[in-house]
């Protein structure tokens, strides 16, 4: 198990992404350094490579549709820059322990109402998936075999029914949470210790230096 705390992992990933995405166009040397950092980060997090490759491959195909009409020179830099960002964020995503993204997101500087909504949305996603499974099972019992067959017959009424069924359960879950003392805050600490703050500061300083250098050379 890695000893880097989840909020710090998220923030270091963000430092690499923001730094690489802000590079001056055609600053290949700086991009190469960010590429090395991103690969080191992926290795450090011990990301499963087959999964990482599959995800990035799919994402790059979609990006290529957008970038290739711009010409090879421009498209190649854009795609490599995006590839570095994708490696970094996907490495974080694929090594994120289950049910813990709320802790990571809690450390982000976003308003409290949005954080509360993030937490609820994360919880209710499980309810939605559960309801989808139930509706699929019901459909199978009525003769629609397989998830693909069910999806083919999905209509606006079924989407609406899914929303209402999930809403009923979500309201019950929320009432139970309120009774148990939920006040819109995740009862988990996501603050940084002094050592982690120092690491983050150093990371920001290196990234800022590297990115600003790309504009001066």
Partner 1 sequence: MHIPDGFLSVPVAGATGLVSAVALVVACGRSQEDLGIRRAPILGLTTAFIFAAQMVNFPVAGGTSGHLLGGTLAAIVLGSPWAGMLCITTVFIIQAVLFADGGITALGANILNAGVIAVWVGWVLTQTLQRLLGGSKGRLPLAAGIAAGVSIVVASVACAIQLVLSGTASAAIVLPAMTGVHILIGIGEGIITGGVLVYLAKARPDLLPGEEQEFKGWLVPVISILLVAGVLSLVASGWPDGLERVAENVGFIDLAEQVRIEVPTPLADYGIEGLGAISTSIAGLVGSAVCFAVAFGIAKVVKPKNA
Binding residues (CB under 8 A) for partner 1: these are 10, 14, 17-18, 20-23, 25, 55, 59, 63, 65-66, 69-70, 74, 78, 81-82, 85-86, 89-90, 93, 96, 101, 104-105, 108, 110-111, 113-114, 116-125, 127-129, 132, 151, 155-157, 159-164, 166-167, 170-171, 173-174, 178, 184
Q: How far is the CB of 95 from partner 1 (least distance, A)?
A: 12
Q: How far is the CB of 154 from partner 1 (least distance, A)?
A: 8
Q: How far is the CB of 31 from partner 1 (least distance, A)?
A: 10
Q: Among residues 151 and 205, whose Cβ is nearest to partner 1? A: 151
Q: Among residues 120 and 206, whose Cβ is nearest to partner 1? A: 120
Question: What's the burial of 11, exposed, middle or buried (CB within 10 Å: 0-12/13-18/19+)?
Answer: buried
Q: Among residues 169 and 196, whose Cβ is nearest to partner 1? A: 169
Phi-psi region of 143 (alpha: psi -120 to 50; beta: other; left: phi over 0): left
Q: Would you list the DSSP string of 56-93?
A: HHHHHHHHHHHHGGG-HHHHHHHHHHHHHHHHHHHHHH
Half-sphere exposure of 133 (CA within 13 A, CB side): 6
Q: Among residues 69 and 194, whose Cβ is nearest to partner 1? A: 69
- What is the C-alpha to C-alpha distance for residues 88 and 84, in angstroms, rounded to an integer? 6
Tokens of 99: 């049910």
Q: How far is the CB of 207 from partner 1 (least distance, A)?
A: 12
Q: How far is the CB of 143 from partner 1 (least distance, A)?
A: 22
- What is the C-alpha to C-alpha distance for residues 11 and 88, in angstroms, rounded to an integer? 11
Half-sphere exposure of 146 (CA within 13 A, CB side): 3
Q: Among residues 125 and 202, whose Cβ is nearest to partner 1? A: 125
Q: Among residues 66 and 188, whose Cβ is nearest to partner 1? A: 66
Q: How far is the CB of 44 from partner 1 (least distance, A)?
A: 18
For tokens 């270091």, what's the residue? 12
Which of these, 85, 79, 91, lies nearest to 53 by C-alpha position? 91
């Amino acid at each position: 198990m890695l000893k880097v705390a989840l909020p710090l992992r998220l923030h270091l990933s963000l430092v690499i992404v923001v730094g690489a995405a802000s590079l001056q166009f055609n600053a290949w040397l700086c991009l190469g350094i960010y590429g090395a950092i991103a690969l080191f980060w992926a290795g450090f997090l011990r990301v499963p490579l087959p999964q990482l490759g599959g995800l990035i491959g799919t994402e790059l195909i979609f990006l290529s549709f957008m970038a290739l009409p711009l010409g090879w020179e421009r498209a190649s830099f854009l795609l490599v820059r995006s590839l570095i960002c994708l490696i970094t964020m996907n490495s974080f995503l694929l090594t994120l322990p289950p049910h813990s993204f709320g802790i990571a997101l809690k450390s982000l500087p976003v308003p409290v109402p949005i954080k509360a909504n993030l937490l609820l949305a994360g919880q209710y996603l499980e309810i939605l998936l559960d309801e989808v499974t139930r509706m699929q099972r019901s459909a199978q019992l009525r003769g629609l075999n397989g998830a693909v067959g069910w999806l083919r017959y999905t209509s606006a009424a079924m989407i609406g029914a899914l929303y209402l069924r999930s809403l009923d359960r979500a309201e019950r879950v929320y009432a139970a949470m309120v009774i148990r003392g939920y006040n819109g805050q995740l009862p988990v600490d996501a603050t940084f210790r002094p050592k982690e703050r120092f690491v983050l500061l150093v990371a920001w300083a290196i990234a800022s230096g590297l990115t600003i250098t790309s504009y001066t050379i």
